[in-house]
Structure 1
Amino acid sequence: MALSGCPFGVLVVIVVLLAGDVVMAQRQWLGTLNKYDPPAPLPKKNVKDPLAPVDHFDKCQVAHNEKILCGTVDITDQQCREINCCHDGRQCYYGKAVTVQCTKDGQFVVVVSRESTLPPVDVNSVTLLEMNDVACSSVDATSTFAIFQFPMTLCGTTVKLEEDGYVVYENHMSSSYEVGVGPRGSITRDSHFELLFQCRYSSTAVEAVIMEINALPPPVSVAAAGEIRVELRLGNGKCLSKGCVEEEAAYSSFYAAADYPITKVLKEPVYVEVRLLGRADPNVVLNLEHCWATTTPNHQSLPQWDILVDGCPYHEDGYKTTIVPVRGSSGLQYPTHYKRFIYQMFSFVDQNAFSPQKDRIFIHCATAVCHQSSMRSCEQPCRRQRRSVAAAKSQNQEALVSSKEVILAPLKSFSADEPNISSALKKWER
């Protein structure tokens, strides 16, 4: 498989990249690059700096059987890097980014990597917004890359002439995503990929411009309260040794008040603990009757998404919440005073347009204190018909507790010239 390129990114960031005066693809759908000549320097554009990456990531670490050739067979290492591709000493190939190229004969070449966003995007769901011609579909696709090549006169491309003499061709592509619809709100855990890209032509140079969209709203604080002393906190412990159990390690430490708002990416596990404070009775059991999420600190606000219903994972959620048992071996003095569960981070979706909202999440839990004895069980069974727990609850032993703010991480896309990426990419990939 072969092709060639220039780069991209995704989220309230603009990345400007230069393409050679001929950028080609070497698989039957593009002609041959005869001679590489670096383009003349273009005037500097006023662009925003990309968001600061977290950890090191090498976009050129592509498995041999997933490599797509970039440029001609005889392209040199320097020429390969000039067009923002990778070279392993033998061949030039596309990296794990989004690459936009502008050919001299007036065609767009766009190569989208699955790992160009965090979490990874389903490249088979990426399409141009206008699909009025067979040429607008991807010309090739694997589980890792999707490749588009189409004339600038098709697929909804707009054209304009700028005062500086550039002719600008612009198009837009996006991905589809799965939406979960509930009675009081809708969510998604899939990456929503949007790319606005341009090719700018002058008499001396070719320029590929990639614009990132989808801003994140500013953070707002939130406080938790309840009639009885109940606290909801989020675990942040890490596995540091071989054989470590991640679910156990996660609850070994917790975010402090100063850490909020905390940021999570789509599908990243969120480790929730609710605990009863100020009680020393081993016969007291804390139960979670109902846990749900909203986009504001107000537990009654809409939209809402259920996480636990009657103490059990919400059955309409395709990514079932995991109940984490707190056993006597946990080392806690009163294990029955604790409840733990794990849900995967999601984004609320507009109920009418089903468009993702880059928003914040607040978790709320309605809790109840149950006094167990030989005659009364406080168990919350989830695999058989639920017995009445209401009779086991004492008066005034209920409380509502809420988390502080959890914000959805910007949908981070990585342009071909960005060297870094969050290490969470592999960890939370499904």
Structure 2
Amino acid sequence: MPCVAPQGREACKQAGCCYDDMDRVTPCYYGNTATVQCLLDGHFVVVVPRGHSTQPYNLDSVRLASTQAGCEPIRVTETFVMFHFPVTQCGTTVQVIEDRLVYENQLISTIDVQGSPRGSITRDSVYILQARCIYNASDLLPLRMEVAVPPTATPLAVPGPLGLQLRIATDNSYSSYHPDGDYPLVRVLRDPIYVEVRLLQKTDPNLVLVLHHCWASPSTDAAAEPQWPILVDGCPFVGDNYRTQLVPVGPASPQLPFPSHYQRFVISTFTFVEPPTMAVLEGELHQGSPEK
């Protein structure tokens, strides 16, 4: 990709680009490292190449931390993505340090998830690139540009199952829940049941709880029959004439810091019957929710 720089070897090098005397068409071009340029007219130019094994970010998802209109990449190729925007826009922060103005922005790449019919994985982490331009406050001449990748914490693998909790809210606000002493709950047929499943003791915002299959049974044995599907492949069971309703969770708040750790849905009370007489089976209903 041609570099935004004045003509000449020295000007090209000063802009942080590569120069090839043998190339008469594009002698000045961007190299295989992230490049930040601070232009005289008060603009950022940030160019990110496709990552190598040491930087396994997903180039297709690279974006500015601010998602406001007009801050999209101005050019995208198979190997590069380029941003060009004013230093006063697109979420740029500014600090006044003595006689200098320090403008900072961030580029973020989301996790690259690979899917298959039996599950999904990722081998990547979130990639964050910090771009900084430093100007002389008196004449707004660029003094220095910097690019840095914040250190990424070492992944920590801990064996063992995830802690899950299924609980029932007292109403559709999900602001209070039935204590253990309220169970078993007694409800009239078709009454709504406000169900919530959540991850316990997790603070990673990248974790997402997905309920693959949920069902009800008159036994606490997960393999016991009969069973009635509630969620199938994460969706309400289509064979139910009172279909389960999924409840969106969020946005994040002090009371709900990690909305992706929760799944909420509403089911209508029902009872099992025994064919062929269709006699109502007495007893409690229990729910199973394998996680994915």
TM-score, structure 1 normalization: 0.33
TM-score, structure 2 normalization: 0.48
**Structure with more relative contact order (C-alpha pairs < 8 Å, separation 6 or more):** 1
